[in-house]
Structure 1
Amino acid sequence: MTVIQNKDANPIAHLSKEDIAEIGRKLDAIRQEVADSRGEKDAAYIRRVIATQRYLEMASRGVLLFSKFPPAWILGTVGLSVSKILENMEIGHNVLHGQWDWMRDPKIHSSTWEWDNVTPSEAWKHSHNEVHHTYTNIVGKDNDLGYGIMRVDEDQKWYPMYIVQPAWNFINACFFQYGIAAYDLELGKNLKKPKDKRPEGFAEEVKKVKTKIRKHMTRDYVIHPGLSLVTGSALETMAANLVANWVRNMWTHSVIMCGHFPEGVETFEKEMLDEDESRGDWYIRQMLGSANISGSKAMHIMTGNLSHQIEHHLFPDLPSNRYAEIRVKVKALFEEYDLNYLERPLVPQVYSAWHKVFRLSLPNGFTETTTVKNLPKQLGLLTKMVTGDKRTRRALQAHLDAKVARKRAKVAKSDVTTAA
């Protein structure tokens, strides 16, 4: 993936300013139509999902009181995992986007909701709603692109530390809610600064995160295991909570990876913000900087309808249960203006995202020029790039770039010959 402005074949080069403005007007009309039609059916949906999640959690925790018995442990763990995913994805994420604020229900409002996550709602709303959704896929502005710890674009300079990013990404997936909390705090950057140079309120935000972590730990690993002491199931209950949190973290990470990381998703230069970005330009960035997951209605609910990531980024504050119907109109708009509507089933989309993580952990051109036959030689070159100094890396990168150019020229010549 290369930022869209540097591509040889820019996928939006065929669009005129008038086209982009018209796309903006059409999407505004779709948004207004849905906003005007929100009503009791939508309100009943979110109330039903919340009730289902809470009953499922209570039932699962009740079953785990007897988790010394393997069937009860399996049933309780599965139920608790599903309830945690529902709370995070279809409820918490979407409530905090203000999707249900129009109901004027203080119990289901973005200003009052506190979700089952160690990062406080207010901190997450700033880093996600305000920053990510404003600067979607702009390299250097959208920190959700790699969360500041991964290389996600060929235009990002390669450093030896990126060689371990697949392992780092997996670790981040296992402890995802804690990674998000650290990301929201910009922990790595702020801890490097002297205390008197840190942003105002940083210490207070750290305190809030610590408080939430303590509450979560106490609930999942003290209170509920303690209640299971009576049946001799304390350790089993603790293990079930640990597994449920891990499952929720892995699932959430996978869904989010599918939204912006897969091959084919576009990224953008931050210089574009120096120009006056129109409403249509912003829409185009959301359309091409996001990817969908196709699947069943149950899968869509379990992803928090982030399987409709394109529609979510176009209209983040519209009710998630309406994204499926919005998708039909949005996809038709893509086809009308000859744009790539990027959608795959879950497994191929997850594979695509991880493929890019692995590919970009290596220097540009490495995978393209590596074959089974030359693998030992290529691994030797990679070792030199990892262990060598800047001068060595520059020279070897130039060598890889030349190999890529020769290979592409050969393929192009072959295509011309075949066509003739």
Structure 2
Amino acid sequence: MFGLSLPTLPFIGNNARADQSAPTVLTYEQVEEIGRELDALRERTVASLGADDRDYIYRVVKTQRGLEVAGRALMYLGFLPPVWLAAVGALSMSKILDNMEIGHNVMHGQYDWMREAGLNSEEFEWDTVCPADQWRHSHNYMHHTYTNILGKDRDIGYGILRIDEAQKWNPYYLGNPVWALTLMILFEWGVMMHDLEIENVIQGKRKWHEVKPLLKGWWNKAGKQVLKDYVVFPVLSGPLLATTLAGNVTANLVRNVWTYSIIFCGHFPTGVQSFTEDETAEETRGQWYVRQMLGSANIEGSPLFHVMSGNLSHQIEHHLFPDLPAHRYPELAPQVQALCVKYGLPYNTGGFFKQIGSVWGKIFKLALPPGLVRTQTPPGVVIERRRTAA
């Protein structure tokens, strides 16, 4: 994006358009100063990690386990509709906390400094069908390294959706809303299959022998999850097998819909920008930081909302500092926003319904051929490229 040593043209973000208002212009030196300021913010936060952070994650784990025990126990009274609803609610919240505020964040290494086996990023396994090691590759490495780079970041559309104008349209995308709804309902399974790169397998770009280790991982992990939620616990409830099975299915569905919605709100609402591989060649640290800010969005909400989102409601801060404890993002957000104001960078934030409405609007619009719809794009950011001596 920003590191090309060309003396001629400035960088203009992929979603910028010449017919819109003038973009923000940053010099190469300003971008590097942004990098230094964010590095300093990260260093101050790392230096302050301690007992409060340790106590926080312990409380969350204790709460998650308590909710799971309560949900499983209440299923034995599931013949009473209010109790069944309470059981499903407790189990749903347990699965959301395990997936987002614990699993996602622990596997980013946010608590590795504690040196506790149960919270170690390389050893943790979560309550979902995707094997942790596959997720760490597709998410921690591929997504966080190549955030919003077309052709590199497979989170752009998850291999099945057109979610960015720069993705070439074809008739398949007429089904965009259907594919998106299906992905939302089956999100944990979509995440599991993410590392397979199914579209590349279908096109012959990836051979089946390359994906055999993935399939073995699916069999081991997904098999255990299916056995636990859809066989063992329902059977243990005896005559309430059907209501327990329905409760477990519903809890997984609630977790899937919630997780999908939070993730899509943080990555795909109007104003989020994408980039090309050429634009991001030879990227400096400061330029990487700017890409994270331009390619992310936040969701405003209450403290409980932030916890239940795994603090991914602060997606901008998460992309900047993926290995810092996520519960620190609310205190970092005002400082990041102030930095954006200082340099004239956009800070994409809004309420949940605004952001999710924007996302679904894009899903429907981008299902249609480009000539039939007009999309609104941000003015973008122009950054002076590093110049070489003549």
Question: How high is the TM-score relative to the length of structure 2?
Answer: 0.90
Match of 2:247 in 1: 240
- Say whether residues 1:168 and 2:175 are aligned partners: no
Deviation at residue 191 of structure 1 after TM alignment: 5.7
Cα deviations by residue, 1:73-114 (Å, 9 ceiling, x for unpaired): 111001101110010010000000000001111111101100
The answer (yes or no) to whether the contact 1:12–1:339 under 8 Å persists in 2 is no
Q: Which has the larger radius of gyration?
A: 1
CA distance in 1, matches of 2:176, 2:204: 25
Match of 1:187 in 2: 198
Q: Which of 100, 112, 120 is matched with 2:131 structurally?
A: 120
Match of 2:388 in 1: none
Cα deviations by residue, 1:369-399 (Å, 9 ceiling, x for unpaired): 9xxxxxxxxxxxxxxxxxxxxxxxxxxxxxx
Question: Per the alignment, in what secondary structure is the counterpart of residue 222 of structure 2?
Answer: helix
Q: Which of 223, 226, 239 is matched with 2:232 structurally?
A: 223
- Say whether residues 1:71 and 2:82 are aligned partners: yes
CA distance in 2, matches of 1:50, 1:222: 25
The answer (yes or no) to whether the contact 1:3–1:153 under 8 Å persists in 2 is no
Match of 1:107 in 2: 118
Question: Per the alignment, in what secondary structure is the counterpart of residue 86 of structure 2?
Answer: helix
Deviation at residue 189 of structure 1 after TM alignment: 2.5
Question: Per the alignment, in what secondary structure is the counterpart of residue 272 of structure 1?
Answer: coil
Q: State the structure with bigger RCO (CA 8 A, min sep 6), 1 or 2.
A: 2
Structure 1 residues 39 and 12, CA gap change in structure 2 (3 angstroms): farther
CA distance in 2, matches of 1:43, 1:255: 25
Which one-letter code corresponds to 1:125 in the other structure?
A: R
The answer (yes or no) to whether the contact 1:166–1:361 under 8 Å persists in 2 is yes
- Say whether residues 1:147 and 2:154 are aligned partners: no
CA distance in 2, matches of 1:180, 1:306: 17
More helix by share: 1
Structure 1 residues 272 and 367, CA gap change in structure 2 (3 angstroms): closer
Match of 1:388 in 2: none
The answer (yes or no) to whether the contact 1:4–1:11 under 8 Å persists in 2 is no
CA distance in 2, matches of 1:263, 1:61: 40
Q: Which of 306, 313, 316 is matched with 1:307 structurally?
A: 313
Q: Which of 1, 10, 14 is matched with 1:4 structurally?
A: 14
Match of 2:4 in 1: none
Structure 1 residues 170 and 331, CA gap change in structure 2 (3 angstroms): same
CA distance in 2, matches of 1:341, 1:11: 17
Q: Please tell me the root mean square deviation across aligned C-alpha atoms, in Å.
A: 1.9
Unpaired runs of 5+ residues, structure 1, are 370-403, 405-420
Structure 1 residues 199 and 340, CA gap change in structure 2 (3 angstroms): farther
Match of 1:251 in 2: 258
Which one-letter code corresponds to 2:220 in the other structure?
A: T
Question: Per the alignment, in what secondary structure is the counterpart of residue 346 of structure 2?
Answer: coil
Q: 1:8-407 maps to which residues of 2 (within 5 A)? A: 8=18, 13-190=24-201, 193=204, 197-198=207-208, 200=210, 202-229=211-238, 232-274=239-281, 276-368=282-374
Deviation at residue 236 of structure 1 after TM alignment: 0.3
Unpaired runs of 5+ residues, structure 2, are 1-11, 377-390
Match of 1:410 in 2: none
The answer (yes or no) to whether the contact 1:294–1:343 under 8 Å persists in 2 is yes
CA distance in 1, matches of 2:163, 2:188: 21
Question: Per the alignment, in what secondary structure is the counterpart of residue 126 of structure 2?
Answer: coil
Question: Per the alignment, in what secondary structure is the counterpart of residue 339 of structure 2?
Answer: helix
Cα deviations by residue, 1:141-196 (Å, 9 ceiling, x for unpaired): 1100101111122222211111111111000100001011111222342366499x
CA distance in 2, matches of 1:210, 1:192: 24
Count of aligned pairs: 364
Question: How high is the TM-score relative to the length of structure 1?
Answer: 0.83
The answer (yes or no) to whether the contact 1:3–1:155 under 8 Å persists in 2 is no
